[in-house]
Amino acid sequence: MAARSRSAPPVCEHFGPKRLRQRLGALDFSEKAANRQPGAAKGAGIPGSRGPYETDRFHPYDVASASLWGACDSDFADREGPMRTLLLPFSARFIAYTAVMVITAALLVELYFSPSPMVAVPLVLFFALAVIGTVDLIQTRHAVLRNYPLTAHIRFILEEIRPEIRQYFLESEKDGTPFSRDKRAIVYQRAKQALDKRPFGTQDDVYAAGFEWLHHSMAPRPVAKENAHIVIGGPDCAKPYAASIFNISAMSFGALSPNAIRALNTGAKKGNFAHDTGEGGYSAYHRENGGDIIWEIGSGYFSCRNEDGSFCAEKFEAGARSDQVKMVELKLSQGAKPGHGGVLPGAKVTAEIAAARGVPIGVDCVSPSRHSVFATPIELMQFIATMRRLSGGKPAGFKLCIGHPWEFLAVCKAMVETGIYPDFIVVDGKEGGTGAAPLEFTDHLGMPLREGLNFVHNALIGINARDRIKIGASGKIVSAFDIARAMALGADWCNSARGFMFALGCIQSQSCHTDRCPTGVSTQDRVRQRALVVPDKSERVYNFHRATVEALAELVAAAGLDHPTELTPAHFSRRVSAHEVKSFAELYPQLKPGELLAGTRDLRFASAWDMASANEFRVLPMAA
C-alpha cells in the first residue's frame, strides 16, 4: 500500500490504539512483538499509533501492521458510509442493475412525452429486467444475487448448460462419465446400422496401468452364425429357459416411459432375447408385444402384493404362470444403491403406475430396504423354492450386489443345508445404473462387478454347486469385449440396462430423476414420451443386440474358441504397471471344486466362511 503523507493525520487517530487493539485481538502478537524495538510503546512502528517509532510506511516484516491498516480502512468505511453508499450503484458489481434502472426511467419519460410502440417494447423488456434486479437485491436465498443483481444470473445459466458444453465441445472420445463418448457412439452406430469401425488405430494408452486385452489365436475358428444361447434351469426346474447370452437388464415401468417399455419388449421379441421387468411390476406395457419376460420382484412385491404391502402368493402365481414369463427373479439389492429403499411420491403414482404395481392411486409407494418374506439365509432358500413352485417349475433365482462376503457364504451354507438351490444368480456390480440414488450409495457402497462376479463364481465352485447354478452379470456392459471379460470371470450371460437405453436414443443427459428426459426414455410426461417412436426404436434395440452378439462371436473366433462359455481368465491380461503385466488367472485365482466344504486356506474365503451361518445374516467379523 502506498505511503501516507505525515500532513494527513491517519484515520486511526480518531479512534485511538486501544480500540484498534480490541478489534484485532486475534492478531499474532508474538510476531508483532518480534518486530518492536526494546522499550517501545505497544503501538510502535504502526502508522498513526503515536508511538516513538511511528513511520509513514508499513514495516516490511510486520504482518500485524498490514492487518491493522486493514482495520483502519474498515473504520474509514464505517465513518464515510454515506459517501460509500452513494458510489455503490456505480461499482462494477451493481453497474448493470444501475444501467437498467436508468434506461427504464428514460424510456418511461420518453413514453410519457412520445407514446410509441418503438418505445413501449423495449420499456417492457427493461422494466422486466429492473424487476428481476430488484428481486435479486431483496431476496435472501442466494448471496451471489444480492451482491451481483442481474449479472449473477449468467453464472446460473452457464451452470445449467455446463454438462452440454462439456459433452459436446470439451470431452474427448475416451472422456465422459459414466460412459465415454466412444462407448456411447458404438451403441448408436450399431443401433442405427451405421458404420461402427474405427480408423487409424486405438486411442487407448496401451502402456497405462489398467489396460486390458484378450489374447488371440494363431489358428482362429470360424465365426459362429447362430445367436449364442445358454440353458438356465437346474435339476429342480421343470421348465428350463434357453436364454440369449445378452439380455435387457432390470428397468421398471415408472422409471422408464410406456413407449420405452414397448420398444424394448418389441425388440426383444424380434431378436429372441429376454427383457427383465425391474422391480416396478409386470405391467400391461410389458405384456403388449409378447417378448420374453424375466419377472423381477423386489421388497415392495409390486404386481403381487396384498393391500398391506406383503407378498401375495395368489397374484404372483397368476402372473408367473403366463407363457410370456420365462424366469422369476427376487431382487435382494441393486448395485447402484444396495441396501437402500425408495419412495415414489403419491403425486407421481398415476392410474397406470398404480395398476402395474398394485398400489392405491395418489398414495406414496414405498419400496422397503429389506424383505418381509424372509429373515435368514434358510428362509431365503425356502422362498426361492416357493417362487419356483408357484411359477409352475420355471427357473427361479435372485439378484444381488455383493456386500459382506460372509452373508453370501451364509446363503451358500443354506443351500448345502437345505438342499434347495436357485437356478440362477445375477450379480449386479456397484457401477450399475439407477434413476436416482444418494451420492454416498452410488460412489462408495457395494462391490464392483468383476470382484463380485468372481467371488460368487468361486463360492459356488467351493460348494460343488457351480454346474447347477447359472450366473448372470450386469453393470456397465455395452460392448462385446465387456461381455467376453465378464464371461471369462464367471458369467454365463450378461445383462445391459443403459446400453439398451442408448439404443432407444438416450443421450446421457443424466436427467432421469427430474422427469424431464429430453428423448422420452425415462419420463412419465406424455408430451416428452411422444418423442420416442416405438416402431423405429424397437428396430434399433434389435439391431444393437444383433450387432453386439455378432461382434462377440468374432472376438471368440479370433481367440480360437467356438463359444463364449469357453472363455477363461487365462485368455485375458491386464497391465498393472508400466513394466508389469498379469493374466486374469493370476489376478483372479480359482478355488478347487468342494474346497469350501473341505476347509479352505484361501485368505479371500477362509475367515468369511468361518463367520457365515445358514441361520443368520448378521454375523459380525471375528478376531483372527
Could you give the residue ranges of the DSSP H alpha helices within 391-529?
405-418, 439-444, 449-462, 480-488, 498-504, 526-529
**Tell me: the pLDDT tens digits for 543-596?**
999 999 999 999 999 999 999 999 999 999 999 998 999 999 999 999 999 999
Task: Report pLDDT for 396.
Answer: 98
Task: Report pLDDT for 506.
Answer: 93
Task: Return the amino acid letter for 222.
Answer: P
**Tell me: the pLDDT tens digits for 458-491?**
999 999 999 999 999 999 999 999 999 999 999 9
Handedness of CA 46, 48, 49, 53 (dihedral sign): positive
Please determine, for residue 126, whether its predicted confidence score (pLDDT) is greater than 70.
yes
Task: Report pLDDT for 568.
Answer: 96
E strand or H helix that includes residue 427: strand 424-428
Angstrom CA distances, 305 to 70, 183, 258, 398, stand at: 70, 39, 22, 18
Q: Which of these ranges, 66-70, 124-128, 146-150, 215-219, has the smallest mean pLDDT?
A: 66-70
Please determine, for residue 28, whether its predicted confidence score (pLDDT) is greater than 80.
no
Contact 436, 459 (CB under 8 A): no
CATH superfamily to which 223-556+591-611 belongs: Aldolase class I (3.20.20.70)
**SS3 assignment, position 332:** coil
**Tell me: the pLDDT tens digits for 350-379?**
888 899 999 998 888 888 889 999 999 999
Query: Confidence class of residue 170 from pLDDT cuts 50, 70 and 90?
Result: confident
Q: Which of these ranges, 156-160, 342-346, 478-482, 574-578, has the smallest mean pLDDT?
A: 342-346
Please determine, for residue 113, whether its predicted confidence score (pLDDT) is greater than 60.
yes
Please determine, for residue 49, whether its predicted confidence score (pLDDT) is greater than 50.
no
Task: Report pLDDT for 34.
Answer: 44
Please determine, for residue 38, whether its predicted confidence score (pLDDT) is greater than 50.
no
Domain boundaries in the chain? Answer: 11-79, 87-154, 223-556+591-611
**Which residues are registered as beta bridge partners of 232?**
241
Q: To the nearest 10°, report the CA torsion of 278, 242, 429, 440.
A: 0
Q: What is the mean pLDDT of residues 520-527?
A: 91
Residues with Cβ within 8 Å of residue 36, at least 6 apart in sequence: 44, 45, 53
Query: Confidence class of residue 229 from pLDDT cuts 50, 70 and 90?
Result: very high
Task: Report the side by side order of strands in the sheet with 212-214.
Answer: 212-214, 572-577, 580-583
Contact 341, 371 (CB under 8 A): no
User: How far is residue 366's CA from residue 308's CA, in Å, rounded to a whole number?
Assistant: 11
Angstrom CA distances, 229 to 96, 163, 321, 453, 474, stand at: 67, 39, 23, 20, 17
Q: What is the mean pLDDT of residues 433-441?
A: 82
Could you give the residue ranges of the DSSP H alpha helices within 514-560?
526-529, 534-558
Please determine, for residue 90, whether its predicted confidence score (pLDDT) is greater than 90.
no
- Check residues 93 and 419 and name the one with the higher pLDDT: 419
**Which residues are registered as beta bridge partners of 61?**
none
User: How far is residue 502's CA from residue 293's CA, in Å, rounded to a whole number?
Assistant: 20
Q: What is the mean pLDDT of residues 147-170?
A: 90
What letter would DSSP give residue 61?
Answer: T
Give Dmax over CA atoms of the chain in angstroms: 105
Residues with Cβ within 8 Å of residue 164, at least 6 apart in sequence: none
**Which residues are registered as beta bridge partners of 329?**
296, 397
Contact 100, 133 (CB under 8 A): yes
- Burial-class residue 389 by CB neighbours within 10 Å (0-12, 13-18, 19+): middle
- Check residues 221 and 85 and name the one with the higher pLDDT: 221
Please determine, for residue 286, whether its predicted confidence score (pLDDT) is greater than 80.
yes
Task: Report pLDDT for 81.
Answer: 65
User: How far is residue 256's CA from residue 253's CA, in Å, rounded to a whole number?
Assistant: 5
Grid coordinates belonging to 390: 408357484
Please determine, for residue 33, whether its predicted confidence score (pLDDT) is greater than 80.
no
> How many degrees, rounded to 5, is the angle at CA 392 between CA 390 and CA 396?
70
Task: Report pLDDT for 108.
Answer: 93
Q: Which of these ranges, 83-97, 415-429, 601-615, has the smallest mean pLDDT?
A: 83-97
Please determine, for residue 163, whether its predicted confidence score (pLDDT) is greater than 90.
no
User: How far is residue 516's CA from residue 288's CA, in Å, rounded to a whole number?
Assistant: 25
Highest mean pLDDT among 46-55, 58-67, 84-93, 322-331: 322-331
Tell me the chain's radius of gyration from C-alpha atoms: 34
Task: Return the amino acid letter for 528.
Answer: R
Q: pTM of whole model > 0.75?
A: yes
Cis bond before residue 10 (omega within 30° of 0): no
Task: Report pLDDT for 539.
Answer: 97
**Tell me: the pLDDT tens digits for 298-338?**
999 999 999 999 999 999 999 999 999 999 999 999 888 88
Handedness of CA 40, 46, 50, 53 (dihedral sign): positive
Task: Report pLDDT for 2.
Answer: 44
Q: What is the mean pLDDT of residues 146-154?
A: 94
DSSP annotation string for 160-175 = HHHHHHIIIII--TT-
